[in-house]
Amino acid sequence: DGGITQSPKYLFRKEGQNVTLSCEQNLNHDAMYWYRQDPGQGLRLIYYSQIVNDFQKGDIAEGYSVSREKKESFPLTVTSAQKNPTAFYLCASRRFGGGQPQHFGDGTRLSIL
């Protein structure tokens, strides 16, 4: 079955450490997105990508980086510059076309050790 796979489900970061969250989709979707979800704040867009080797900053990109070397993959790195990384991270993808909805992975919970 097609879908979006995020791994790991839980991740712990030490102070000063960079960590990478994986997102893979086999839906042949063009666009991919990373969101951060905090309690009481809804979803906020971190980065998005429309095609391979192209990505743009969203609303809260500071302290994060991404790459899009393959259409299927859009990994997110949480760098040591992100001082408050504890959150639930959701990856999404969608096909281009009016009204096409975003499809989501199961998320990664990142916590500070």
Partner 1 sequence: AQTVTQSQPEMSVQEAETVTLSCTYDTSESNYYLFWYKQPPSRQMILVIRQEAYKQQNATENRFSVNFQKAAKSFSLKISDSQLGDTAMYFCAFTAPLINAGNNRKLIWGLGTSLAVNP
Q: Please give the residue ranges that form the binding site for partner 1 (CB under 8 A).
A: 31, 33, 40-45, 48, 50, 56, 58, 88, 90, 92, 96, 98-99, 101-107
Nearer to partner 1, 73 or 102 (CB): 102
- Residue 21, Cβ density class (10 Å: 0-12 exposed, 13-18 middle, ≥19 buried): buried
CA distance 19 to 98: 35
CB of 49 to partner 1, least distance (A): 9
Q: Which is nearer to partner 1, 67 or 80 (CB)?
A: 67
Least distance to partner 1 from the beta carbon of 70, Å? 19
Cis amide linkage into residue 85, ω under 30° from 0: no
Measured torsion, CA atoms of residues 52, 42, 44, 88, in degrees rounded to the nearest 10: -70
Residue 77 C-beta: closest distance to partner 1, Å? 21
